[in-house]
Every structure is written in structure tokens, then in C-alpha cells.
Structure 1
């Protein structure tokens, strides 16, 4: 008789804990979104509802230039990392070679090393070879961590695939290139796309590595935001933050949807 009562009481504290957790995570975002519609120039007081800061945001030449730099860095880093990360994941999963365990550990180090350590190490490396800082050095630095994230996602997908797919294709007359392109890559493509979307969001949001490796004239969006909030958070920064949150959430949703559809298709096969 007591068991039903216990089962009725348990969800109450679980629900409270869940609501508290989500409130802790998302209440600041809701407050940020609320004040992005503030008519007042100062975030401390409410001056009425207005879209002026969103209109001002899309007419701000500095913000648009910083957005262009961020997109250039993210797209360039993800494009290179998609190729290298996929090849690295396939090589680690399908082939045996001397030092494989060590290479695997080193390849995934950027996932656990703090960003500040990667930023300082990259800066020291560039200075040692007298490489001038520019937009290209930022792209090269972003490839380091984008590569690891894409390789990790692709490796997870490879772990769930039949390891004899390529062998079956070779037995049926395909050459190694055809087996890789026509058999293995279609199975890996959802993971590659998901990894690219994840790496794209991380690259767009990065501040530390970009600020350490950017040269004169290079100003990514997080760097521009930081330069403005040092004197106080204005409503236009609130509006920009809301736009970035919505864009990141949309990309994350797309990546999760692709992963879900891939999992469903694999279960139905």
C-alpha cells in the first residue's frame, strides 16, 4: 500500500529539481531577450517596447564586418577539418599502424585542453617561425579544435557501422576508392554534417583563440562584442546576443535532427 504513495511523491521533487535546473540555465537568457526590446539606451531601466536595437544592429558596419570575418574563419576551418577529420577517423577505425594508440590520444587532446593553453601555444608557435598574424592564422588555429570535434563525431558513427562494408564492396568488384566514396561515405555523411555544424558553432563562438592569433584588421564577432561590453552592456549587444542564441540553437537543432534521422534509418535496416 505504501509503494503507490512513494511513486506519487517521487515525481514531485524530480519535477522541482528539473524546473530549478532549467530556470538556472535559461532564466538569464530570457532576461537578456526581454531587455533586447528595451527602448531605453541603458539596460538598468525599462523604457518601453521597441525594435530599434535590432534595426540598429543590422545597420552597424562594424558588426557586419566582424560577422564577415567570423563566417570566413568558421567556414574555412570547418571545410578543411571536415576532410582531415573524416580521414583521420576512418584511418584510426579501419587501419592498424605503429603508435596508433598514442596518435589517437594526441588527436583528441584539443577536446580537453583549455582554450587559453591552445591559444598561448599557437601564438608561441607562430612567433617562433616568425609567421605574421592575420585572418589565415586564425583559421589555422581553429582547424586544431574543429578537426578533433569532427573526428570524434565521425568516429562515433563508425563504431556503429559494420566493419566489413568495404570488404563486401571489394568482393563485389569495387576498387578501394569506389568502396570508400560509394559505400562508406554515404553512411558517414550524417555524422560528417553533424560534426561540421557543431564545429561551425564552436568556431563562431570562440574568443580566446581568435584574440591571441588575430592580426591587425582582423576582428571576429566575439572580439567585437568583448570590446563593447567592457564599458557596459548596451541594448544593441543584448539584441546581438539574442540573434546569436537563435542561430546557434537552430544549427544545433538541425545537427540533432540529422543525427536522429540517421539513427532511425540504421534501426530500420
Structure 2
């Protein structure tokens, strides 16, 4: 199977296959999010990308800005870590999902609303008709993140980039969102680039792992191989810093 996406500006080539989840991990400032944004030409104007970037058979390095606009949100979907800042507070949920459908599929009116409702059902949100008319502030954090996922998969992308998608959510909702992402990945045959600092989540939901430090890849491999037999000193230190075991039961308060 040919790679879904292959950027080559690191010391290693980073390749993601369709139907696979590749996790990028590392401490804050290691270059995880910058690397993902660089893949799809979303770096600020004072930054530049050198090297090869391929999405299937498309050489991303040769695209014009107009061509990029047809790739982002269409062939590549995004989920960011804070849905409240990603959703526009001035527009209802249905309008925001419908905008992605209008730009890339030309859907409008009832056709766009029907497709938007179907997407909310895919991400397992109850009462989709009501939610289409809701404002972002009327939704919980987990509901807002599911709306962001619906927008990300609206145009059946081949690549889904999830940048810390559960950071602002509680533990129970985190598990639900990641299970949903895995289910959608399998259903749509997408490749998923999962950026996280949480090694426990990565071990449970990723197929392969890429460890980064100071903008460079330290190690790449299958999740269990990296966890059981880390090769780089940085990976060993990162794994050693992860809390292990379970907390002790809190003793009952003494009665006086």
C-alpha cells in the first residue's frame, strides 16, 4: 500500500498509511504541532518548510495557495485541542458545518442541513436537529469537540490531524472521544495523525509512535516496540517520567 502522507524534512522520513494512527509525542515545545501545521502549509509567515511532502501521489510542496485551499478541510481534516476557540461563537452549529460542505461540495439549503444532521449522528450526538440550531456556548465541552469532529470528517478526508483533541476534556469524555475517532478512522479508511503528550492514551489508541525533541525525531516504531524497547535516551527518559501504578486508597478519617 502506498503511503498516505510522507513529509521528509526531518532526520527521518515520517510516513502514515491509510487506516493507521500515528502518534507524535514529546514535551511542550518539542515541535509536535509545528510539524503537523508545516505538513499542510499553515505555518506563520515568518516560518518556512523545506523538504518533500506527499499526500498520496500529490506533491504538496508544489501546490499554490488556491490548490491548498482545496486540500485543507477536504482531503485533510483538522481537530484542535480547544473546540470553544475553534468554533465561531457568532454562528450556530449548523451554519458552521454547512460552510465546509458549501465550500468543498457545493451543498446548500436543505441538502446541506441533511448532510450536517447525518454528520452529527455519525459522531453520536443526540437530538441533532436541535443541535444544528444551537450556539457553541450552549454545548458542553464534549459536545463541542464532537461538532469539531463532524466538521473535520464532513468531506471524507483521507488524512485526519488530531492535535491534542482531548486535553480540555475530563477523563471519561476523553475515552469516548478517542474511541469515536478510532471508529470513524476504521469506517472511513482514514489515516490519523494523533498529537499528544499523554503516553497512556497513545499506547492505547495509536498503532505507531514518533517521539520528538527540540524539533527532531528521536525514534519511530510500533507502539509496543517503543514502549518495551526504547532506543533513544530521550525516549527512555520520557517513559521513565510517566507515572505508573495506581494511587493508594485514602485512609478513612479518624474519629475523635
Superposed pair shares fold, TM > 0.5: no
**Structure number with bigger Rg:** 1
TM-score range, shorter chain: under 0.3
TM-score, with normalisation over the residues of structure 1? 0.22
- Structure with bigger strand share is 2
- Structure with bigger helix share is 1
